[in-house]
Amino acid sequence: MAKDGQGLEVSNADGGAIAALDFLTAEWLAFGDRLPEFIAAAEKEERCALLPLLSANLLLTVNSTAAFAMAQCHFARAKAMAHEATARERAWLAATEAWFAGARDRAQKIHEDMASEWPHDLLAAKVGQLHAIDRGDAEGILRIGERILPANRDNHYVWAMAAFGLEECNRLDEAEAQARHAIEMERHDPWAHHVVAHCLEARGRLLEGVTFLQSMADTWERCNSFMYTHNWWHLALFLIDLDRRDEALALFDKRVWGMQKDFSEDQINAVSLLARLELRCVDVGERWSDVAIRLEPRLHEHFSPFLDLQYLLGLARAGRQSAVTEMLASLEDRAERATAGEREAWADCAVPAAHGLAAYAKGDFGEAAGLLGRAMPHLRAIGGSIAQRGLFGAIHLDALMKSGWNDAALAILQADDRERPTVPWTKRALSDLYRRVGRSEQALLAEYQAEQLARRYAQGQA
Ligand SMILES: [Fe+2]
């Protein structure tokens, strides 16, 4: 039986099919921009089931109705070709079937088992980690990384995959060390850059974050739009915290929005960046409407609560009230259909959070604070990364501050400041709150610290 470049057996594969599979592996791990070429190859393939099968998985990551329909066609073709499927290919079939059925937990479990059984199947690990990310299962991301690492210690992509799991489990020192090890092995690893960005962001190492990402940005030119816009989004986050908001807004225009405006991942990077800029009082002008035009067709998709909440926020900030109302009703229906394993994400988090975001966008801050407060304890379940979910925490905090829930806001800000004591904005907000609750000495101290930090950053000192 033919084997691919990782030494994995592939049924009914000729040289062309093996070349296509190796191309897919290289391109997916590198977050390259030539993935559509694999889908085209899979469409023509008539014998090797793994091609349309992996193509179906790739299409499912796109999170669009059209791509989902295409994925169904590819999956049907894969099943029709799968008479001689190997055990590994049968596992791929079962996991994909589970994904189509909305059973991401079952799909993830199969991928975790595959990571143990076939640790050289790096795409199985990649997709497994994607399931874990979408389910907010940080330990699951790490488990998969740890299972494949011993057999792939010479592969920088695998070090970065394991490092991301460590980062999401808040094991920041180990995560950063592993990601930097990956970069020492190969500088062209955008996922490793991404992990380092997360680690520096979590600790408030702001100038380091800017310098590091700028020093790697030349390697992102051949990345797909998700990785390209997302790494630039991370750079914008550092700039916002450094009070360099104009530069962050310029990155929105030049790097974050405009690559592939119809792609879900580009859209959420755009929504999240605009919202974070507005939280720091930046006037983003007409930018919401250009994003919202692309969000309007998504009201009833519900590929994930994490995506949906950002779509809804984008629509609400653009003032598309009828679309917001329609999406809220649709979200409630989706939550009612949630399986037991999905209930926390859809019913406990997404529904109150969506209403809270809609209230926030209308300026009804007290209502927003209450609704978002109900959702926050369940936020992890909607998926995404810690840094991405941070948007909802920031909006909740803003609603608390604007509606005068001083004690609750103060507790959150104090915790933020303990974790990231390097952000001038946090110190200023703390100062404002201390003043409101009559603690003028602490207010003055926080204000002084904010000024000191701002002065250091202006001089380029970390
Ligand atoms: Fe990220």
Q: Which residues, including other chains, have CB under 8 Å from residue 397's CB and lie 6 or more apart? A: 409, 412, 413, 416
How many A from CA of 4 to the centre of ligand 1?
Answer: 31
How many A from CA of 237 to the centre of ligand 1?
Answer: 10
Report pLDDT for 462.
Answer: 72
How many A from CA of 253 to the centre of ligand 1?
Answer: 19
How many A from CA of 395 to the centre of ligand 1?
Answer: 18
How many A from CA of 191 to the centre of ligand 1?
Answer: 9
List, in sequence order, every residue forming a beta bridge with 251; answer none if it has no partner.
none
Region 358-362: what's the mean pLDDT? Answer: 96
How many A from CA of 70 to the centre of ligand 1?
Answer: 28
State the pLDDT confidence band at 461, using cuts at 50, 70 and 90: confident
State the pLDDT confidence band at 32, using cuts at 50, 70 and 90: very high
Structure pTM? 0.96
Whole-angstrom distance, CA of residue 96 vs CA of residue 260? 26
Whole-angstrom distance, CA of residue 301 vs CA of residue 326? 12
- Residue 384 pLDDT exceeds 80: yes
How many A from CA of 419 to the centre of ligand 1?
Answer: 18
How many A from CA of 195 to the centre of ligand 1?
Answer: 7
pLDDT (tens digit, 9 = 90+) per residue, 290-327?
999 999 999 999 999 999 999 999 999 999 999 999 99
Task: Give the SS3 label for residue 9.
Answer: strand
Residue 32 DSSP class: B
Whole-angstrom distance, CA of residue 160 vs CA of residue 57? 21
How many A from CA of 328 to the centre of ligand 1?
Answer: 27
Report pLDDT for 441.
Answer: 97
How many A from CA of 234 to the centre of ligand 1?
Answer: 7
How many A from CA of 132 to the centre of ligand 1?
Answer: 14
How many A from CA of 14 to the centre of ligand 1?
Answer: 38
How many A from CA of 179 to the centre of ligand 1?
Answer: 13
How many A from CA of 232 to the centre of ligand 1?
Answer: 10
Report pLDDT for 402.
Answer: 98
At 9, which amino acid appears? Answer: E
pLDDT cut 70: percent of the chain above it: 100
State the pLDDT confidence band at 36, using cuts at 50, 70 and 90: very high
How many A from CA of 154 to the centre of ligand 1?
Answer: 24
Whole-angstrom distance, CA of residue 406 vs CA of residue 321? 30
Whole-angstrom distance, CA of residue 342 vs CA of residue 269? 24
How many A from CA of 384 to the centre of ligand 1?
Answer: 8
How many A from CA of 388 to the centre of ligand 1?
Answer: 7
- Residue 184 pLDDT exceeds 80: yes
pLDDT (tens digit, 9 = 90+) per residue, 212-263?
999 999 999 999 999 999 999 999 999 999 999 999 999 999 999 999 999 9
How many A from CA of 43 to the centre of ligand 1?
Answer: 32
How many A from CA of 200 to the centre of ligand 1?
Answer: 11
How many A from CA of 228 to the centre of ligand 1?
Answer: 11
How many A from CA of 121 to the centre of ligand 1?
Answer: 24
How many A from CA of 359 to the centre of ligand 1?
Answer: 27
State the pLDDT confidence band at 460, using cuts at 50, 70 and 90: confident
How many A from CA of 404 to the centre of ligand 1?
Answer: 32
* Ramachandran sector of residue 241 (left: φ over 0; alpha: ψ -120 to 50; beta: rest): alpha
Task: Judge contact between 149 and 142, C-beta under 8 A.
Answer: no
Region 263-273: what's the mean pLDDT? Answer: 98
Q: Which residues, including other chains, have CB under 8 Å from residue 337's CB and lie 6 or more apart? A: none
pLDDT (tens digit, 9 = 90+) per residue, 422-435?
999 999 999 999 99
How many A from CA of 220 to the centre of ligand 1?
Answer: 15
How many A from CA of 210 to the centre of ligand 1?
Answer: 14
pLDDT cut 90: percent of the chain above it: 99
Task: Judge contact between 108 and 132, C-beta under 8 A.
Answer: yes
The count of other CB atoms within 10 Å of the CB of residue 373 is 17
Whole-angstrom distance, CA of residue 65 vs CA of residue 262? 12
How many A from CA of 386 to the centre of ligand 1?
Answer: 8
pLDDT (tens digit, 9 = 90+) per residue, 95-114?
999 999 999 999 999 999 99
Whole-angstrom distance, CA of residue 168 vs CA of residue 143? 12
Task: Judge contact between 22 and 37, C-beta under 8 A.
Answer: no
How many A from CA of 198 to the centre of ligand 1?
Answer: 6
What is the average pLDDT score of the chain? 97
Chain centre distance of CA 104: 16
C-alpha distances in Å from residue 78, one per residue of 71, 316, 335, 348: 10, 41, 32, 37
Region 372-377: what's the mean pLDDT? Answer: 98
